[in-house]
Amino acid sequence: MTATLEKPPVTEAPVKEPRDWRGPALFAVVAIIGLVVMPLVLEPFRLGLLAKYLTYAIVALGIGLAWGQGGMLTLGQGVFFGLGGYAMGMHLKLNDAGDGLPDFMVWSGVETLPALWEPFRNPVFAIAMVVIVPGAVAWLLGTLVFRQRVRGAYFAILTQALAAAMVILLVGQQGLTGGTNGLTNFFEVFGQDVAADSTQRGLYFTVAIVLGILFIAVWQLQRSRFGRLLLAVRDGEDRVRFLGYNPATVKTITFTLSAVMAGIAGALFVPIVGIISPALLGVVPSLELVVAVAVGGRFVLVGAVLGAVLMGYAKTYFSEELPDAWLYLQGALFILVIGLAPKGIVGIISSVRESVAGRKKEVAA
């Protein structure tokens, strides 16, 4: 990791050991705010929205890992989000339907439950699929693509095409997937009334804790040997190859992990928001998440999470205050942040810190 690389800065490099306590302290503060303060302060509707932003943050964490750390610009995370979401949605629909058929099958003219659906009655199977299906798809795609050394813009376009294709597939199979409507109108989630405030509160804690755990896991991964190898692949893939590593394997593993995170986020999203539809996993939502990561700051994991929560919040806030013009404001926010601070909000914060530190030094001198 020498100075010959001029592009992305190597942040949080594991060189400065004395700073180590700050991260955990900040994490603890955020955890207290998230798990104690927010549930006390926010009313159920707002807490539900925050839970939704946190599911986006889980996807963003995966994008931060794949893009920020691994240099893989993935514009199709919605696909994995959707796979996880549909796996969960199918289970909830079957659970509600009991012996009958899910409501949309009735009005789509399906008379017997498709074989694909049957195993999703089992909650353990459904939850396993939330992880396995997105992971397997990403693994397969990664194996095929990274071995062929497809990267950069080509990889980005490929993932975006995947998102577009996925939407067409889901919309076309109305009897199997609910078409454009998607899956909605859930009553129960694991025996709890899905609309009850207590259930929604429980879901909020679940999402917050899952996000916390995944954050620590990715943080550790980033600090490990694998994490350094990943950075090396991002900054000089050919050099890594000449050193005897296989960059394709490193990238495939990372891409798969980010897909699994998106899948978990999708599964949590479904009972919280109460719907999963093709509109949630197409090109636009996939791009929105990448934009959120860019706004937050893609080179630091905190940036990805912060970006997702902030952009989610900004979308809600602007659209509630100015329903006619909110899209322009959201766009302006994006242009402002990226134009003034290519490293995102986290970049701004660290440059503020640096300039303050710089001034102190000047004064001291």
Q: Which is nearer to another protein, 6 or 320 (CB)?
A: 320
Is 349 among the residues that bind another protein (CB under 8 A)?
yes
Is 29 among the residues that bind another protein (CB under 8 A)?
no
Is 179 among the residues that bind another protein (CB under 8 A)?
yes
Is 287 among the residues that bind another protein (CB under 8 A)?
no
The single residue among 54, 171, 267, 291 that binds another protein, judged by CB under 8 A, is 171
Collapsed DSSP state (helix, strand, coil) of residue 192: strand
Is 323 among the residues that bind another protein (CB under 8 A)?
yes
Q: How far apart are CA 208 and CA 265, in angstroms?
A: 11
Is 244 among the residues that bind another protein (CB under 8 A)?
no
The single residue among 24, 152, 172, 331 that binds another protein, judged by CB under 8 A, is 172
Stretch that binds another protein, among 60-68, 72-80, 126-134, 179-187 (CB under 8 A): 179-187
Minimum distance of another protein from residue 236's CB (angstroms): 29
Is 123 among the residues that bind another protein (CB under 8 A)?
no
Q: Which amino acid is at 203?
A: L
- Cβ-count burial 337-356 (b if 16+ within 10 Å, e if not): beeebebbbbbebbeeeeee
Q: How far apart are CA 57 and CA 296, in angstroms?
A: 11
Q: Which is nearer to another protein, 99 or 324 (CB)?
A: 324
Is 277 among the residues that bind another protein (CB under 8 A)?
yes
Is 362 among the residues that bind another protein (CB under 8 A)?
no
| Binding positions for another protein, 75-114, rule CB under 8 A | 104, 106-109
Q: How far apart are CA 95 and CA 243, in angstroms?
A: 53
Stretch that binds another protein, among 23-31, 211-219, 258-266, 308-316 (CB under 8 A): 308-316
Q: What is the DSSP string of 231-281?
A: HHHHH-HHHHHHTT--HHHHHHHHHHHHHHHHHHHHHHHHHHHSEE-GGGS
| Binding positions for another protein, 325-344, rule CB under 8 A | 326-327, 336-337, 340-341
The single residue among 1, 32, 36, 352 that binds another protein, judged by CB under 8 A, is 352
Q: Per DSSP, what are the bridge partners of residue 276?
A: 183
Nearest residue to 207 (alpha-carbon basis) of 100, 58, 61: 58
Sorted by sequence, the CB contacts under 8 Å of residue 112 that are 6+ apart come out as none
Is 11 among the residues that bind another protein (CB under 8 A)?
no
Q: How far apart are CA 269 and CA 277, in angstroms?
A: 11
| Binding positions for another protein, 193-212, rule CB under 8 A | 195
Q: Which is nearer to another protein, 155 or 318 (CB)?
A: 318
Continuous H helices in the chain = 22-32, 38-41, 44-63, 77-97, 103-108, 123-147, 153-172, 174-177, 197-223, 225-235, 237-242, 247-273, 283-296, 301-321, 326-340, 344-364
Binding site for another protein (CB under 8 A): 41, 43-46, 48-49, 52, 104, 106-109, 168, 171-172, 174, 179-182, 184-186, 195, 273-275, 277, 279-280, 310, 313-314, 316-317, 319-321, 323-324, 326-327, 336-337, 340-341, 345, 348-349, 351-352, 355
